Amino acid sequence: MQPAVRASFWAQAHYVVRPLEEDDINEEYVGWLNDPQTNRYLSSIRPGSTVTIASQRAYVRRILRSADNTIFGLFCADGRLVGTSGVQNLNLPDRSPWIGVLIGPKECRGLGLGTRLVWIVTHLLFSQFRVNKVYAGMLASNVPSYKAFLKAGYRREAANKRSNEPHPEGENPHAFVVSCSPGGLVTPETLGITAVRILGNGTENQGIGSEGPSDEGAVCRSD
């Protein structure tokens, strides 16, 4: 059962981060997951397999039923899903989950969204899920991912920290493991985030900054 936690933030435009629902899974999302240039970095996709709307809905359904894992979607102001962030091992005794991020549309990459998604999900984990530390692992070749985590406030861990997560390229393919402790995140302003609103787990409208105009459009567009 997933807690009803959501966040919204402003960074030139309005974005919402909330747990993904089955109905959010559409052709566009499945297209990102089937793109070999993207899925080579995603540990949840087996090489050579094809993700369908039905298989991804089943995958998300399993996550939503689990107490230990969750998956957030990142939505533009117009409701378009542009990214996801999976969280694993939320309830292990050390309360130190692992996260991964994906910005799907290629035209939305390189704009700072990945860094902001790392920041807001990590902020949610510390403020709403009371975790002690957050980890992420990535291939050494995944420079945008490594930079996004570092820019949000993560630091490189000792190389021998192992992910529990199986990965198609081997048991422990993560050349880089990064982590963040409470207090490690950069300030939202550093990333151009001018307002944050958190809703959930009894903490209502915990805000940072002032919200921008509600009718401002999305920065990411596919057309």
Rounded to an integer, what distance in angstroms lies between the CA atom of residue 133 and that of residue 155?
11
Which span sits near ligand COA by CB under 6 A: 2-10, 56-64, 109-117, 206-214?
109-117
Does 82 help bind ligand COA (rule: CB under 6 A)?
no
* Cβ atoms of residues 45 and 36 within 8 Å: no
* Cβ atoms of residues 110 and 42 within 8 Å: no
Rounded to an integer, what distance in angstroms lies between the CA atom of residue 186 and that of residue 115?
11
Rounded to an integer, what distance in angstroms lies between the CA atom of residue 178 and that of residue 140?
12
Does 41 help bind ligand COA (rule: CB under 6 A)?
yes
- The residue within the footprint of ligand COA, chosen from 86, 105, 114, 188 (CB under 6 A), is 114
Considering the complex, state which of residue 54 and residue 140 has its C-beta at the smaller distance from ligand COA: 140
Does 102 help bind ligand COA (rule: CB under 6 A)?
yes
Considering the complex, state which of residue 76 and residue 200 has its C-beta at the smaller distance from ligand COA: 76
Considering the complex, state which of residue 11 and residue 198 has its C-beta at the smaller distance from ligand COA: 11
Considering the complex, state which of residue 133 and residue 167 has its C-beta at the smaller distance from ligand COA: 167
Task: State in angstroms the smallest separation of the CB of 164 from ligand COA.
Answer: 15
Does 145 help bind ligand COA (rule: CB under 6 A)?
yes
Region of 106 on the Ramachandran plot (φ > 0 left; ψ -120 to 50 alpha; else beta): alpha
Task: State in angstroms the smallest separation of the CB of 168 from ligand COA.
Answer: 13
Phi, psi of 196 (to 5 degrees): -135, 135
Task: State in angstroms the smallest separation of the CB of 103 from ligand COA.
Answer: 4
Considering the complex, state which of residue 7 and residue 33 has its C-beta at the smaller distance from ligand COA: 33
- The residue within the footprint of ligand COA, chosen from 147, 155, 156, 162 (CB under 6 A), is 147
Helix (H, G, I), strand (E, B) or coil at 89: coil
**Residue 104: which of 50, 32, 44 has the closest Cα?**
32
Specify burial of residue 136 (Cβ count, 10 A radius: 0-12, 13-18, 19+): buried
Q: Which residues bind ligand COA (CB under 6 A)?
A: 38, 41-42, 100-103, 109-115, 138, 142-145, 147-148, 151
